Amino acid sequence: MPEQSVVPIDQILPNKLPLVALMGRPIFPGIFTPIMIGNPVDVKVIDDAVSGDGLIGLVMLQNETETPAIGDLYQVGTAAKIVKKINLPDGGVNIFISTLKRFRIKKALHASAPIVGAVDYLEDEEDDTAEVKALTRALISEMKQISENNPLFSEEMRLNMINIDHPGKIADFIASILNIDKGEQQKILEVLNVRRRMEQVLVFIKKEQELLRIQKRIQKEINEKIEKSQRDYFLKEELKAIKTELGMTTDAKSSEYQRFKEKIEAFKFDGEIKETVEQELEKFNLMDPNSGEFIVTRNYLDTIVNLPWNDPGPENFDLKNAREILDADHYGLKDVKARIAEYLAVRKLRFAGRNGRDVQAAGKAASPQQRAQEKKYPAGSIICLVGPPGVGKTSVGRSIARALGKQFFRFSVGGMRDEAEIKGHRRTYIGAMPGKIIQGLRITKTKAPVFMIDEIDKMGVSFQGDPASALLEVLDPEQNFSFRDHYLDLPFDISQVFFIITANTLDTVPSPLFDRMEIIELPGYIDMEKLEIARRYLVPKSLAKNGLKKGQVRYTKDSLLHIANCYAREAGVRNFEKNLDKIHRKLAIEIVEKDEKTGPSAEEGALHFAIDKKAVEKHLGKPLFQEDVIKRADKPGMSLGLAWTSMGGDTLVIEAASSPGKQELTLTGKLGDTMKESASIAMTVARKAGIETYGVAPEWFEKNQIHLHIPEGATPKDGPSAGITMATAFLSLLRGKTITDHLAMTGELSLTGQVLPIGGLKEKTVAARRNRVKSIIIPKQNLRDLDDIPDHVKKGITFHPVERFEEVLALALPG
């Protein structure tokens, strides 16, 4: 810190000075201070000055540079006398100087290093007025306040400031010790008028005081926080000591430890589970609550104690009540309901005991032999509901849980690509958690809930694993009694879980997974079934959802059938419900508008609506499907086939046409590879039959090209079941004869004319009924599938089982 100079200078100052460039701040006159010089050129200047008169000029650089020239310097600097020089080990020097007077560079005598300049010395413009005296007192008074609160100001500096008798020197001294930007200090150095110089310095003193006030306030707030933290710490320690003396729980960690310990002891673990859990519990007890591992271990123990480790108690089975619940919630679905009844009956025999004796009496644990027998014959069940969208696969799961009196948990695996979603993450990962199976058991708090795994056919595979493979252990009764989640890493018995799997198609389900499930197919609904579902479930549900009262809207039978046939012709009833919602929203608008005009109506005066076919078209617009537009094969070269899709069954019109040209078979309609091969086989069989049976000249095939097309060209189509349909279309074209009216067919065709079995007969029959087909040709080997088709679906349809293509021709093209 600079001090006021006390070295008397009575020599005459020269008109030329060697100039030393200052990198830091300017130095004011009347100051005694040390300076470090490291530049070799400046060291030479110092050595020459010491050997001469000892005078140098100190000027601050405008822009820092390694080789300064006179143009890089400010014009105003300070002349100084070197009092002492000390050589340093690194080649630099440390000099003590006494600054004398301001000067202005008049001319450069040597512009580059070492810089020498001709200078004019500057005198202070004295202004001995009362204002200057007042400013002097103000400066000294304000600096006293700053110095009292700042330990950086020494007592010697305070005495020097008081003993200076010249106002200009007081301003210079204060400017040199204040924390001011070097550019601002240079401006003060260049001010010759003493009063203006003092005013500027006073402004900077005020700014410094404001900064000190802010600093003091911040320091006070920090000290208060530290004091509060220390106080809280001591109080907590004191409270801990008091609780220890009274034998009470000392802290939250001890409370958690005690809670975990009590629950773990209540489970009566043994073997690997007991050993692992006790190790984790002791580790938790020894951990510092502030460590990251503490939270991981706490969450792990919390998961363990919240899982249903104990076997569920005796179940209250009521077969009649379960059937009533299923019948009340869903229309049809006889296979599903029969399977649930079988499941209940088996559980009743196994667990409720016979002759009125319970196998597991209340309060008595099962013997090891009984537990081994239960593991050999698992208590759970795995069924897979397959069917098109909207037929009630997901909603039936809730009804099953309600019928069984069990907790229900559902999760979808559609689009899932990470096996950790099923089996959990390992605890080494940050944010690790159990998989969906363990999460579901924790939520339901029972070992025997109903689990619904939705959309199993839409799982994917990625670098993170294959969820379908992870499900193999979950759905295998031979393994899932000791299911091991990655997070839990302990064997857990999930064999008592009732698994319900849903899928739209089984084509994408891996075979090992397919083998573990009992498949129950849900066919699409025909119009009469949709009518009953709408009356019993959809209309009341939609009325309540849209704020309408029961009985306020009445539908005629024809209006509901009109919606089913002309607006919602898909296999399920999802679009049917959407159309009902649309109608009820429009009715809600009418009711609200009327109430706003005339005021709310009383119950008996409320609007009532009768919905007939005309009202349906008013609210839903023109029909999407024309009721009278039925797919028919009414021209030569056309035949009617049946197809199965993930949306349900459908009818296909197959068209064949010929034109003169080179022998060729053209196929259009976005056909898959299997269907193209089937078309080639059909063409070969039809050509052989045409030549051998109907006398078509072989030359006709050489001079004509045949084009086969299946409409709705944007929809992909594949599969072999349209073989006999395409061959029939070819022969209809060759004979120029239309096939039997209201006749549809399905069956794979071999090259020798055999008709092979197909799949999806139930869905295809439903589609045929919607299209008002009266006769269906099917492979003889599919006769067994007719038993699975409800009687009301088969009613009015004649089935013709065939083994050979000749039998197909006899039915489709008689005579």
Collapse the DSSP code of 104 into the 3-class scheme (helix H, G, I; strand E, B; otherwise coil) and give the result: strand
- Angle, vertex CA 495, rays to CA 490 and CA 499, nearest 5: 115
Query: Is the pLDDT at 303 greater than 80, yes or no?
Result: yes
SS (H, E, C) 517-573: CEEEECCCCCHHHHHHHHHHHHHHHHHHHCCCCCCCEEECHHHHHHHHHHCCCCCCC
Task: Please pick, among 98, 176, 559, 721, the residue that the annotation labels catalytic.
Answer: 721
Cα distance between residue 444 and residue 441, in whole Å: 5
At 627 the pLDDT is 55
Asked if 721 is an active-site residue, the reply is: yes
Query: Is the pLDDT at 376 greater than 50, yes or no?
Result: no
Query: Is the pLDDT at 453 greater than 80, yes or no?
Result: yes
pLDDT, the chain, mean: 82
Task: Please pick, among 423, 631, 717, 764, the residue that the annotation labels catalytic.
Answer: 764
HSE-CB at 4 with a 13 A cutoff on CA atoms is: 20
Q: Where are the beta strands (DSSP E) in 137-271?
A: none
> DSSP string of 631-686?
----STTEEEEEEEETTEEEEEEEEEEEEESSSEEEEESSB-HHHHHHHHHHHHHH
Q: Where are the beta strands (DSSP E) in 88-140?
A: 93-110, 115-122
Cα distance between residue 230 and residue 227, in whole Å: 5
At 15 the pLDDT is 87
At 757 the pLDDT is 92
Query: Is the pLDDT at 522 greater than 60, yes or no?
Result: yes
On whether the pTM is more than 0.75, the answer is: no
Cα distance between residue 284 and residue 13, in whole Å: 83
> DSSP string of 269-303?
--HHHHHHHHHHHHHHHHS-TTSHHHHHHHHHHHH
At 352 the pLDDT is 56
Phi, psi of 440 (to 5 degrees): -65, -40
Q: Place 354 in a pLDDT band, splitting at 50, 70 and 90.
A: very low
Asked if 59 and 105 count as a contact pair (C-beta separation under 8 A), the reply is: yes
Quick one: average pLDDT of 262-275? 87
Asked if 16 is an active-site residue, the reply is: no
What would the pLDDT profile of 39-54 be if each residue is shown by its tens digit?
A: 888 888 888 888 888 8
Which residues are CB-neighbours of 219 under 8 A, at least 6 positions away?
none
At 69 the pLDDT is 83
At 355 the pLDDT is 39
Query: Is the pLDDT at 434 greater than 80, yes or no?
Result: yes
Least confident piece of the model among 57-61, 681-685, 802-806: 57-61
> With left for phi above 0 and alpha for psi between -120 and 50, is residue 355 left, alpha or beta?
left
Candidate ranges 234-238, 362-366, 529-533; pick with highest mean pLDDT: 529-533
At 8 the pLDDT is 46
Q: Place 581 in a pLDDT band, splitting at 50, 70 and 90.
A: very high
Lookup result for tokens 């006159």: 29
**Rg of the chain on CA atoms, in Å:** 49
Query: Is the pLDDT at 129 greater than 80, yes or no?
Result: no
Question: Residue 101 carries which side chain, given as an amino acid letter?
Answer: K
What would the pLDDT profile of 491-509 be if each residue is shown by its tens digit?
A: 998 888 889 999 888 878 8
Least confident piece of the model among 111-125, 206-220, 234-248, 605-619: 234-248
At 189 the pLDDT is 84
What would the pLDDT profile of 274-297 be if each residue is shown by its tens digit?
A: 898 888 888 888 887 777 788 888
User: By percentage, how much of the chain surpasses pLDDT 70?
Assistant: 89
